[in-house]
Structures are given as C-alpha cells and as structure tokens.
Amino acid sequence: MSRKLPLAGGETTRTACARALLRTGVEEKTGEFLSASVLAGRVGWAADLVSGMVAALLAEHWNVADVDVLAAGEDAGGRPLPSNAWMALRRLGWSVGPPRGIRVNDRIVRIAQETAGRTLRAAKWRADLTTAVIETWPADPAKRTPQEWDQVRAAVPGGEYLPSSAIRGRTRQIAAFAKQHGRVPVNVFELEAAPQVARMLLLSACDGQQATIERADEPGRALLRLQLPTRPDPRSYKDWRWVACTVSLPPTVPAGAMLHLPTLRIHRGTVRADLAYTHAVPKAQRSGHAVALGVDWGLNTLLSAGAARLHGDGKIAALGVGGMFRAAGVLAKQHRLRRLSEHLHAKADHYQRLIGEDEQHTLTARHQVLADELRHVSGRRSNLNDALARAAARWAVDQALAASATVIYVEDLRSMEARGMGRTMNTRLCQAVRGQIVDRMRHVAAEAGIAVITVPARGTSRHCPQCLVPLRHRKAPDRPATPGWKWAVCASCGWQGDRDQGAWRRIAARGLTHQAKTVTDRTSGAMAIRTVIDKLEAGAVITPAPKTRRTDRSKTGPTRRHPARPTPRRRRTPSPTRPPGPAGQRPEGHAHTDQRRLPRAAHRHQGVTTISTPISRHRPRGTALGAGFHLHAHATPPRWAEPEPDTTSAWHRQADQRRSER
C-alpha cells in the first residue's frame, strides 16, 4: 500500500497534528476490557522504561564532540547519516538497553533512541550560539557597541537575521554563570545540564511489529493497536500484550487524510494522543499576488488588518477601511496572572532561604503548596496565550478569505526589544505573543493555500501610506494640538487616520511591490522579505480612492410616502410601564429590569470607531473577576460574517408585498 497522497496540479501536502484521548482499550488475546486508569497505568509503565533509556543516552553523549558528530551528518566512514534519529544513533554505535532483568523488544529501544537523537540534534543550535557569544564576549555585557554586535552576529551561523533578543538572553545567562563561578563557561554543556526527559511514547519511530493505526469502519474513528506491558518490570516477551484502542478523530481531521502513528503521553491520569495526519492543500505561492492582506501589531489593538489590490498599471488601492482585533481584556487578565506569579515566586524563594538544607523544616509543606500553585498559574498563563494566538490567527485568516487575498503580509517584529519605554510599557511588550500568532497563522493559512510572509517593519507607522511623507502623530482627531501616538496626520496630502490603520496599508503596499524579493527558509519553510529596496519602496503607495460628488441634488419629483412602520408581530402589545425599583415585568428587549448598566464587556471603550482616550482609566470589570476569554476579545467581523437583515417583521412583509404588486 502506498503511503503517498495523490496530488493534483497546484497542490501540496500538509502535515498537521490533532489532539485525541484514549478512553479505553481491549486486550486482544484475552478480550479483557481496560478502563481509562488501567490503560494509563500500562502506557505509563512503557513510558518509564523509555525515559530511563533516554536519560542514560543523554548523560553519556551530552558533550561537544558527540553533538558535533551527530550534527555533521556523516559517520566515521564518510557516509551520510540517515534522517531518522534512531537510525543515525545506531550507525554511530550509540546503543542503549533496559536495566538488568527487564525484557523489551527492539521497537521500544528505537523510541528511546529517536527521542534522545532529536534532543541532541536540537542542542546543536544552542551550542553554536553560546560558543559565539563566549568567543565575542563584550567589555560591558549589559550594553554592546555596534562593532561588538557585528562581531557576534558574524560568529553565529545565520546571525544576520537572528533576533537580537536571543543573543541578549544567552548573554544574560552567561553573565549569571560568570557572577556565580567567577568565570565564563566553556560551552553550553557546562552552562546547562542534560535536559529532563518527558514521559511519552514516540510511536512514529516504530513499525507494524509495535504499533499500527488505521481508520475504523465507523466514520470519524480510528483503531490504534500497540503492545503494552502487563507489569512495570516485564521479565519476558509474554509480559507484553497487544491492546486495541478506539480513537475518536477531531472534526479538523479531513476524511481523506493519511493518519500517522501518534505520540502518547500521560496527563492527569489519562492518555493523550498527539495524532499527526497528512492531507492535500493548495500550494502557496511566493509571488504573483494581486490581493494581499496587511497585518500590523499593536498593544490593546493586538492586530489591525486590511486588504489592498495591485492593479495591472502598478497602482495599489485599499479595499475598505480594514478591521481590528482588540484583546485589552485578555492582556489585562494576563497581566493579573503575571503579578500573581511574581508574588508567588518571591514568597517561594523566601521560604527556600529559610528552609536551607533542613528537609524537616516546618515550612517545607508550605513551600510545596506554593510550588504546586506556581505550576497551576503557569499553566493558566500558557493556556491563555495559546487561546489568544489561536483566536487572533483565525481572525486574520478569515479576513484574508473574505477579501479573496492570496497572501498575508505580517510586520516582522522579532528584533523589537522592550527597552526605554517605561516599566509598564516594557512589561506589556514582553508579554506579547507575536511569535505564537505568526506560527499559528502560517498553520491555519496553509489550509487555504494562503502564503504568510513577514516584511521589514522600518517606517511602516512613521510615513504616510499615500505619499511616504513623515506623519505628525497626535493624541486624537478631536485633540489636534496634543502630542500623542494614536492618530496620524499627513501635512502633505491631507491623509489622516488611526496609526495602525495607516501601518497595515504601508505593510500591504510594501509586500506587493517587493514580492519578487521573497525568500524561503530551507529549514522551517517560512517566507520572508529580508530587505527594503528604495526603488521599489517609492512605488509602495496607496492610491486614494476618487471622491464622488453630486453637483445637482435637487428633487426630480414628489417624495414617495412611506407608511409608518408597525409593531413587529412578536411584539403586538406595547411594553408595560416600568415600575420604580428593581422588581417588575421585563420591558421590551432583552435587558433585565434590575440591570442599570450594560453587561460586562459593554463599557470598554473598544468600539471600532473609537479613537479618543477615555477620561476614566480602562478597567475591565469582567477581567478582574476572572471572566471567560471571548468576553474580552473584540474582533471586527469579515464581510461574509455580517448578519442578514431581519425579515420576520410586518414592515418587511408589507414592503415585499408592494414590490410584488409592481
């Protein structure tokens, strides 16, 4: 059976991952039904055996020489190493086995070698970066000179486009080591210990003798068969039994997708399966785009996006006024969780200093409670960031689909550093999840064949989108004399608008004019425009739409009489008079009689046309109370998502009847 998908012209394959849950299983030999807890126990026994072998491999080969040999891609005889990590480790002779007296098959050893090999290959990039920073150690680690920046970037492979934040983070880590030991480390393997091993089963390294997966007869289900131990210390092959598990496929998995063996992990007493699948999607193009969506970053207005069209004569026109994705409430909740995490960390560190080396100290139990609470808060922050990234990316792709755009140009802010803008603003910039949003945007856009390309951010918010003249920034349109950053005014062509609305026009125009300069990263496959060419930038302007004006507005006849709109049929009686006090019958509409304020998210000053800064400080009430995610993310809907007009009222029926009589 062929494992390749049949592709039509203009299609390519896309591999994605979906989460599934293994609820129960059946032992094939005896027919015994395995509950969720028993199944989790057996998977956990196998994962413990694998993690022990992985830890032994990493402890033996966590050094410069072995990592360089594995990353070089050649064995001692000069032959290229296989792409599979477990095969590469066996070619190099890096073997491992279970403890004495434990019997496992060769496929379990493969899983351990694959996990360890991937970890060692991933350490090569960190090793090269750390070595480059150590060799070009600056005189003042807190502030490099331009010459020192050039030196460290030249020493790092691919350092020309490496975000400066990665270099600064590694510099701070080395400086902390030097402060503690009085010298800089030799390499990353002295700076960092061997990483901890996760309890998981990487079934993709196996074959049919250990695990198989195929679609079940029932739609939306798959059958996973794998060998699991019947005891934590299997003594013979008889202690391994075939177990069949039915997996419910998420609706995101297409019916014709090819399923791959999943990765199993234990989470809160249940078995989670990260199921990979491959399906055919339209192929995204690097160039040749006529309609593009420009996306600009913000703080409260996390995303501002709009579409632009490139005409045959080279002119670029904006398609509409664009939209905004506002996440002030979500970011406020993230800020509250960050402050709570800092408070818990400070308290836990204080307890640790008091405990010292005394394991029987009375504060040991309290310290453990704080550690558990810290893990819980960190999980909440991580889940909130994931939800925000998914929602923002889905909104951006929906805007592109609504405008029939074939490419999304995103402002590249990887090198932006939160420095010199005040404590509050620096913290808010550090909490942004731009990298996650871009990765998720690429993932979602690949389903529709839409390319996601990053463009340089230089001057996108500073210059006018229509004439490229530097803008004057003001507080608000109704406060033209107050300096600010939100509202932009061009003194040359007269354009004025929201700063972010002008930025997405500049990004879309720059991407359309520079699309021939798009390059693709060979490692990640990400597309980007690296540099801005002045000759092309001169044509990256938005042509203003022609203004229509009627010269003669005089009447040509009598005004047609419109009958008064009657009460809709669902409200045939007038609303009762509201009695004083919170009690009484509900009047018309859906608002409760005792609710004098609008529900939660109504008083946030987050309307689409809102520009001026409110007098009162922005305090989302629902966020402070821990309300849900979607109450605090406000997005402009795409055109196709606008609700249809209500045709159930009597006025619409009379209008339809008059049109039919004509």
Query: 113-154 pLDDT, tens per residue?
Result: 999 999 999 999 999 999 999 999 998 888 889 899 889 999
The answer to whether residues 247 and 488 touch, using CB atoms and an 8 Å cutoff, is no
Q: What is the mean pLDDT of the chain?
A: 83
So what's the pLDDT on residue 566?
60
d(CA 569, CA 390): 41
* Percentage of the chain exceeding pLDDT 90: 48
Q: Is residue 585 scored above 60 in pLDDT?
A: no
The answer for residues whose C-beta is within 8 angstroms of residue 239's C-beta and 6 or more apart is: 103, 229, 230, 231
Sorting pLDDT into bands at 50, 70 and 90, what band is 51?
very high
Local structure of 439: helix, strand or coil: helix
pLDDT band at 652 (very low <50, low <70, confident <90, very high): low
Give the residue among 238, 274, 232 at the shortest CA–CA distance from 42: 232
- Cβ atoms of 529 and 455 within 8 Å: the answer is yes
DSSP string over 72-83: HTB-TTSPBPPS
Beta-strand (E) ranges in 451-579?
451-456, 472-476, 479-483, 487-489, 496-498, 518-520, 527-529
Q: Nearest-CA neighbor of 565 among 660, 661, 649, 658? A: 649
- At residue 579 the predicted structure's pLDDT band, cuts being 50, 70 and 90, is low
pLDDT attached to residue 491: 87
User: For position 234, what pLDDT does the model report?
Assistant: 93
Cβ 484 vs Cβ 475: under 8 Å? yes
Q: How many CA atoms lie within 13 A of 198 on its CB side?
A: 12
Alpha carbon distances (Å) from 429 to 37, 302, 479: 43, 11, 26
- DSSP letters spanning 250-266: PTTS-TTPEE---EEEE
Which among 266, 202, 246, 265 has a CA at the least distance from the CA of 22?
246
Judge contact between 298 and 304, C-beta under 8 A: yes
User: Which pLDDT value is given to residue 35?
Assistant: 93
* Pairwise pLDDT comparison (567 vs 456), residue with the higher score: 456
SS3 at position 228? strand
pLDDT at 335: 85
Question: Are residues 97 and 53 in contact, defined by beta-carbon separation less than 8 angstroms?
Answer: yes
Per-residue confidence (pLDDT) for residue 655, from 0 to 100? 62
pLDDT at 610: 46
Window from 60-64, 414-418, 542-546, 627-631 with minimum mean pLDDT:
414-418
154, 126 Cβ separation under 8 angstroms: no
Helix (H) or strand (E) holding 297: strand 291-297
Beta bridge pairs of residue 201 = 264
Distance CA 435, CA 443 (A): 12
How far apart, in whole angstroms, are the C-alpha atoms of residue 50 and residue 104? 10
Quote the CA–CA distance of 370 and 375 in Å, as a whole number.
9
**251-255, 567-571, 636-640: lowest mean pLDDT where?**
567-571
By the 8 A CB rule, do 309 and 511 touch? Answer: no
- The share of the chain scoring above pLDDT 70, in percent, equals 81
Task: Decide if pLDDT at 86 tops 60.
Answer: yes
* pLDDT at residue 593 is higher than 70: no
Q: pLDDT tens, 144-172?
A: 898 998 899 999 888 887 878 788 889 99
- CA distance linking residue 253 with residue 593, whole number of Å: 46
The answer to whether 454 and 163 are in contact (CB under 8 A) is: no
DSSP result, 541-554: -BPPPPPP--S---
Q: Is 90 exceeded by the pLDDT of residue 515?
A: yes
> Which of the four pLDDT bands, split at 50, 70 and 90, describes residue 546?
confident
Each residue's pLDDT tens digit, 17-29: 999 999 999 999 9
pLDDT tens track for 443-488: 999 999 999 999 988 888 889 999 999 988 888 887 877 887 788 8
- With CA atoms as reference, report the closest residue to 408 among 390, 426, 396, 422: 396
Among 456, 536, 463, which Cα is nearest to 502's?
A: 463
Q: Where are the domains of the chain?
A: 11-137+184-282, 291-537
pTM over 0.85: no
User: What pLDDT does 158 receive?
Assistant: 80
Specify the pLDDT at position 618.
52
Give me the pLDDT at residue 90, please.
93
- Cβ atoms of 465 and 495 closer than 8 Å: yes
Instruction: Answer yes or no: is pLDDT of 197 > 90.
Output: no
Report the C-alpha gap between 592 and 35 in whole angstroms.
Answer: 47
Q: Considering only 50-59, 199-208, 295-304, 442-451, which range has the smallest mean pLDDT?
A: 295-304
Q: How far from the centroid of its chain's Cα atoms is residue 546's Cα? A: 39
From first CA to last CA, the distance across the chain in angstroms is: 66
| Three-class secondary structure assignment of 421-448 | CCHHHHHHHHCCCHHHHHHHHHHHHHHH
In terms of phi and psi (left: phi > 0; alpha: psi -120 to 50; beta: otherwise), the region of 215 is beta
How many other CB atoms are there within 10 angstroms of residue 433's CB atom?
A: 21
Pair 285, 406: CB distance under 8 Å: yes
Q: Measuring CA to CA, which residue among 238, 219, 222 is closest to residue 230?
A: 238
Query: Within 13 Å of residue 584, how many CA atoms lie on the same side as its CB?
Result: 16
pLDDT score at 600: 45
Q: What is the CB neighbour count within 10 angstroms for residue 452?
A: 26
